[in-house]
Every structure is written in structure tokens, then in C-alpha cells.
Structure 1
């Protein structure tokens, strides 16, 4: 079972974890989600690609998605209803932008 490296909250899917309110990642993740929502709205509901935050880097390392000695990491952000989705862009997803 994959868990948050800070609070041991369970991994839900993608970069979504069920962080505990005492988790060191809870507030940074909430702030990133709010900023992503504004970026998404400003982009008229189209996916947005941005640099990964420090917290996302730590979560991606915990998931085994990136190595600790990684280069810069991009994150592709979409919202489906109220659900926040973040992925590492692939050539396929970049072509669909």
C-alpha cells in the first residue's frame, strides 16, 4: 500500500492522497489546488501544464514515478467536475493540448 510520506494517509489515485489535517503536505496541496483551479479557469477549461511543486516532487518520488536525481518535472492539470487531476505529461497528452 502506498502512503503519504509525511502523514501516512492512503494514496487514492494519481497524485491524490488522503492527507491528514496535521500533514505537512496538507496546506501546500490545498494552496496548489486553489492556484491550479484559477489557472484552469483562466485557460478557459483547457488543461494547464506547469512546473511541479516541491510537495509534488516528494509525492512523485514516494510513488516511484521519478528518481530522486530527476530533472525538472512538469505537471499537467485538469479538472473533471470538482475532481483535481495531475499527471506527468507524456508526448501523447502534449499532442492533445
Structure 2
């Protein structure tokens, strides 16, 4: 069984990743807001900003990184590419298929 020290190290590692993702979300939120100010209300930008703000709220509530459809963890590689992602890759594919049908 892992020691308390190992658990603390894992926890600190995950906290550091979460802070990196929060900073990335904050940067993207700022960029989206700036773009909105320059170009006016565009549906794509408004949707992106809403997704980013939703992700920041999930961080604050302790729910960030869990798929909103099935509850499994979203891989860190996915989150660093799209930190506002709300679904795991499997559920994202299912949702895309459902929308296409």
C-alpha cells in the first residue's frame, strides 16, 4: 500500500496540473473577451467564452476534469489541448454521432 508521503506527492502533482489548466483557461477567457470587444458578438466566440467560464466554475466547485456525461476522468492530454472540454473522448464521439444523425 502506498505511503501517506506518496499520496501527498500525488495530490500536489495534481494540484499543480490543475493550476496550470486554470491559468490556461484564464488566458483563453481573456483572449476570447478581447476578440469579442474587437469584433462584436459572434456566436462562435460567445459559445467558446461560455465553455471557458463553465470550466472555471467546475474548477471552483471541484468537478473539473470529470466527464459531464459519464463521470469518468478526462485525460490530461485532452484538457491541455482543450481545457474547456466537458466530455471524455468516448462521450465526445458519441455526442458527435448523435448530432450527425
| TM-score tier (shorter) | 0.3 to 0.5
Higher RCO (CA 8 Å, separation ≥ 6 residues):
1
Structure whose CA Rg is larger: 2
TM-score (norm 1): 0.34
TM-score (norm 2): 0.33
Structure with the higher fraction of residues in helix conformation: 2
